[in-house]
Structure 1
Amino acid sequence: MSGPLWTRSEIEAATGGRVGNGVVTASGASIDTRTLAPGDLYFAINGDVHDGHDFVAGALDKGAAGAIVSSDKAALFNSSDRLIVVPDVLEAMRRLGIAARARSKAKIVAITGSVGKTGTKEAMRIALSRQGKTHASVASYNNHWGVPLTLSRMPREAEFGIFEIGMNHAHEILPLTAMVRPHVAVITTIEPVHIEFFPSLWGIADAKGEIFSGIEPGGVAVLNRDNAYFERLRAHALASNAGRVIAFGEHETADIRAERIIVKPDTSVVEARIFGQPLVYRIGTAGRHIALNSLSVLAAAHALGIDIALAALAFGDLKPPVGRGERTILSIGDADALLIDESYNANPASVRAALSNLGAVELDRKGRRIAVLGDMKELGKEGPALHEALAAEIETNQIDVLFAAGPLMENLVARLPKAKVAVHVDSSAELVDAVCAAIRPGDAVMVKGSLSMKMALVVKALKEKYGASHSATALKG
């Protein structure tokens, strides 16, 4: 049986805080009382929407091992002996995360990229878990609070640690990779995501390349050989402490190379060469982009010196999470329709991939491919053109009907035949009734848009109206 995640003396030494007499040990860490488990340390972070200090009493009532609070708010909770009082709560969590990394003997993988971070992290988690105790970020905990929180939760006995690192401005990755100190750093790809905040795609590549500044001496950089910015990223890697670069992709010079990718309705098959050696494996979800990113996982496995064949075998268990490709069967009368939930977020690359997956669904002669799309945000002056360019993807993937929400989608709507556009409105809420009324037996509907567009409202309504059945397989003709 493993010991506590944190002892009282470790908490005190790491945070530099004044520790109450009631704090003994902690078994976890939390910033959200809704998911807090008894024994967790609660960090009362002052966020964009809520001040965590408003929930300290609730955290303690739920059995928190202690609450880390700011010194200027401590007087509000004088009745409790389970306080850790610090000058700055977020800084205390950062320091606890650094302490977790310092004591850990785990091999650490850090993942960034314009798209595919979370999916690659999940594939990495499944692959490494087969070969040792693995700790990984939950959801998309990849920012200035998500990374230190994930670090602070890392068990001392972990053999592998996987950390997703995100950004939407330059220099945001620098402090995060300095905390994580990866042995392997993966960049999935460079695409025009958050381009509003950068002068060019070169700027995005340079910002992603910051991940190598924290790499451990002799570490390995894993890069997408197919991406136009490979050489620029390679230069960043070679200027760091990285000992070597492993390239993945379909390019003939890639070290981990896909020779053939077969995308089926609900699975993908990859025929690859790993440093010249053949390997064939199946992935338990559909998508060409997922298959390509699986190569980066194998590259990391090679860098870590673990069994690559066993890592590839684990991909059969990979399933798309809610909002990122989850497939659900909808019951419409005596027949079914397919819902593909891609509602978590959107950018040009991920929308293209989602439309490609929808295009791969096999339908009977009466079924239709329906795309429900919301605006892609943070694209700056390129926004109109990038939305307009989706028209080619709609045609290529034989999308029959489009439901669109948001002002930027007007640029796509204007490029499509009027018969193909069912509705164009301002918000996702206005789409709900129209989409629910339009779905027919045999249809396949895919929902996607930037997080602020709240496209999940459409998904929720479809599931509620048509009695969703999870773990769906695609419709087939």
Structure 2
Amino acid sequence: METLNDKYLWNSDLLETITEGTSSRYWECKRIEIDSRKVKKGDLFLALKGKNFDGHDFILDSIRSGASAAMVKTDFKVKNKKFYNIVVKDVLKSLFLIAKESRKRAEKLYNTRFIAITGSSGKTSTKEMMKAAFSAIGKTYASPGSYNNHIGVPYSLANIYKNSDFGVFEIGMNKLNEVKNLSLLVNPHLALITNIAEAHIGNFHSLEDIMIAKTEIFQGLRADGYAIINRDLTFYEKIKSIASKVGIRNLVTFGTNKKSDVYLKSRRLIKEGQILVVNAFGKDYEYKIRFNGLHQVLNSLSVLAALIAFECDPDKGLKALYSVPVPSGRGIKHYIYIKNQESVVIDDSYNANPSSMEASIKALKEMSGKNRSIIIIGDMKELGKFSKPLHERIADFIIRFKIDLVFCVGAESRAVHKKLNYKTKSYWFKNVSDLQTIDFINILLPGDYILIKGSRIMEMEKLVKYLIKNCVKR
């Protein structure tokens, strides 16, 4: 039976029932963990098997870190007598079963309301804003980091706190039916689509196919739930039609379009973020966010829409938004010194697609003002046959916004360098290491604003660290 101790999230008796597994003896755990490096005292370690690793190889590490027990596919013999376990047929399937039970328990016992967020970009930033806003209203759990795939979502659900009033989850995808399956698992009371762009378009035939994949989030939305949609999207009418066909009755829109239920009236840049005036259902709200760029403003509008949909106090929730730090690698500013004068590095290195790249370039120009604007751009991956034209589109965007200097990194970014064709000064490098070897800092000038952005695999964050380390006040 389930423990009455709120200190623990799960126990062996309950997990045996859920997974049809067999435990070595009774034990309790505070949390579920799938990464042995992150195990803390009292965790249950799930020995998942991946393409390049097998969690069973790290069970001893998890025990040394204080795991209460481990979930294993087959018996695992260890010398440590304190090692407890639960044996199941399939560890990943068991994680899904635990997630389903966790979702059911949260609503049944604690009346938790669930929010699911998808979109081509901005999911994590929006999730963090949602978390802050709803934490000002009640106890709120949000998925950690960018845990938004077929493992990350059930992992996050399995760990939702007891007594949570709200649960916020992001849902990602790179092919059809992924969003659908994860949305059915989360079964949200509110579903949000931040935007539709060419992320992962190499796995699809067209941008419209990506739109269809993102609208799969409606499949898991409760019948009485709310769909929140960006009215500025090119596909807005089609998304609205799809929502209607699946029976969604409650639709809330946001954007710059004044026909939106929640729309931006004005914004003003400040040193650390922006001050916004937003109209929601006829009432004006003024609040601040630490994030830069119009794209982040729109993300905050969706938070206001969610607060109103759930009949929460908007002012209370919005006030909390300025406390949200910009997540690492998603536009966070670092102040560096070039020739002993302050300059700025904008670390947007976590990931990139054409739409997010354009949004970051716009934000760069806004922030730089009369200072030089510089971009260090890495390849945008998973674009398939669309890679060259989409990289060339970024070159056109750079020219249009009169960026002063560009460093291109990676084979696919060479298309950007070639398309710039001396209209904008640019350099091309095979990889991050090659750029570092030329000591490119000598090309920079005091007061420069430097945007660093590329796909995750490009390791653009190394350049951020390089600049922070080497550009200090002497």
Q: Which runs of 5+ in 1 are unaligned?
A: 469-477
- Matched with 1:70 is 73
Q: For residues 380-419 of structure 1, what are the structure 2 equivalents within 5 Å?
A: 380-418=384-422
- Matched with 2:454 is 449
Q: 1:33 aligns with which of 36, 39, 47?
A: 36
8 Å contact kept, 1:238–1:244: no
- Relative distance call for 1:439 and 1:24 in structure 2 (3 A) is same
Amino acid corresponding to residue 18 of structure 1 in structure 2:
T
**Which secondary structure does the structure 2 equivalent of 1:415 belong to?**
helix
- Matched with 2:160 is 154
Q: 1:140 aligns with which of 133, 138, 146?
A: 146
- Matched with 1:430 is 434
Moved more, 171-180 or 424-433: 424-433
Amino acid corresponding to residue 109 of structure 1 in structure 2:
I
Tell me the distance in 2 between the aligned counterparts of 1:14 and 1:315: 38
Q: 1:109 aligns with which of 115, 128, 132?
A: 115
Q: Deviations over 1:83-140 (max 9, x none)?
A: 1111111111111111110100211000001111111111111111111111001111
Moved more, 431-440 or 184-193: 431-440
Q: Does 1:90 align with 2:92?
A: yes
CA-CA distance at 1:229 after TM superposition: 1.1
- Matched with 1:5 is 9
- Relative distance call for 1:362 and 1:446 in structure 2 (3 A) is closer
Tell me the distance in 2 between the aligned counterparts of 1:287 and 1:37: 37
Amino acid corresponding to residue 92 of structure 2 in structure 1:
L
- Matched with 2:131 is 125
8 Å contact kept, 2:417–2:427: no
Tell me the distance in 2 between the aligned counterparts of 1:397 and 1:129: 38
Paired residues in the alignment total: 463
Moved more, 235-244 or 225-234: 235-244
- Relative distance call for 1:457 and 1:385 in structure 2 (3 A) is same
- Matched with 1:301 is 307
Q: Does 1:16 align with 2:20?
A: yes
- Matched with 2:340 is 334
Tell me the distance in 2 between the aligned counterparts of 1:184 and 1:43: 30
- Matched with 1:378 is 382
- Relative distance call for 1:264 and 1:380 in structure 2 (3 A) is farther
Q: For residues 453-472 of structure 1, what are the structure 2 equivalents within 5 Å?
A: 453-467=458-472
- Matched with 1:266 is 272
**Which secondary structure does the structure 1 equivalent of 2:252 belong to?**
strand
8 Å contact kept, 1:265–1:286: no
Amino acid corresponding to residue 179 of structure 1 in structure 2:
L
Q: For residues 227-238 of structure 1, what are the structure 2 equivalents within 5 Å?
A: 227-238=233-244
Amino acid corresponding to residue 456 of structure 1 in structure 2:
E
8 Å contact kept, 1:215–1:241: no
Tell me the distance in 2 between the aligned counterparts of 1:43 and 1:437: 49
Q: Which runs of 5+ in 2 are unaligned?
A: none
Amino acid corresponding to residue 82 of structure 1 in structure 2:
Y
8 Å contact kept, 2:374–2:448: yes
- Matched with 1:359 is 365
Tell me the distance in 2 between the aligned counterparts of 1:383 and 1:350: 15
Q: Deviations over 1:317-346 (max 9, x none)?
A: 222111111111113453222111011100
Q: 1:257 aligns with which of 254, 259, 263?
A: 263
CA-CA distance at 1:413 after TM superposition: 1.3
- Matched with 1:474 is none
8 Å contact kept, 1:267–1:284: yes
Tell me the distance in 1 between the aligned counterparts of 2:434 and 2:147: 30
RMSD: 1.9
Tell me the distance in 1 between the aligned counterparts of 2:239 and 2:79: 52
8 Å contact kept, 1:185–1:222: yes
Q: For residues 191-270 of structure 1, what are the structure 2 equivalents within 5 Å?
A: 191-270=197-276
- Relative distance call for 1:357 and 1:265 in structure 2 (3 A) is farther
Q: Deviations over 1:190-241 (max 9, x none)?
A: 1111111111111111111111111112000000111011122222222335
Moved more, 394-403 or 118-127: 394-403
CA-CA distance at 1:14 after TM superposition: 1.9
- Relative distance call for 1:96 and 1:422 in structure 2 (3 A) is same
Tell me the distance in 1 between the aligned counterparts of 2:276 and 2:367: 18
CA-CA distance at 1:419 after TM superposition: 7.3
- Matched with 2:326 is 320
CA-CA distance at 1:186 after TM superposition: 0.2
Moved more, 11-20 or 388-397: 388-397
Give the alignment's TM-score, normalised by structure 1: 0.93
8 Å contact kept, 1:205–1:229: yes
**Which secondary structure does the structure 2 equivalent of 1:361 belong to?**
helix
- Matched with 2:286 is 280
Amino acid corresponding to residue 406 of structure 1 in structure 2:
G
CA-CA distance at 1:399 after TM superposition: 1.6
Give the alignment's TM-score, normalised by structure 2: 0.93
CA-CA distance at 1:282 after TM superposition: 1.4
**Which secondary structure does the structure 1 equivalent of 2:268 belong to?**
strand
Amino acid corresponding to residue 63 of structure 1 in structure 2:
G
- Matched with 2:49 is 46
- Matched with 1:475 is none
Amino acid corresponding to residue 378 of structure 2 in structure 1:
G
Amino acid corresponding to residue 300 of structure 2 in structure 1:
S
- Relative distance call for 1:456 and 1:332 in structure 2 (3 A) is same
Tell me the distance in 1 between the aligned counterparts of 2:306 and 2:377: 34
CA-CA distance at 1:292 after TM superposition: 0.9
Amino acid corresponding to residue 346 of structure 1 in structure 2:
A
- Matched with 1:439 is 444
**Which secondary structure does the structure 2 equivalent of 1:120 belong to?**
helix
- Relative distance call for 1:363 and 1:225 in structure 2 (3 A) is closer
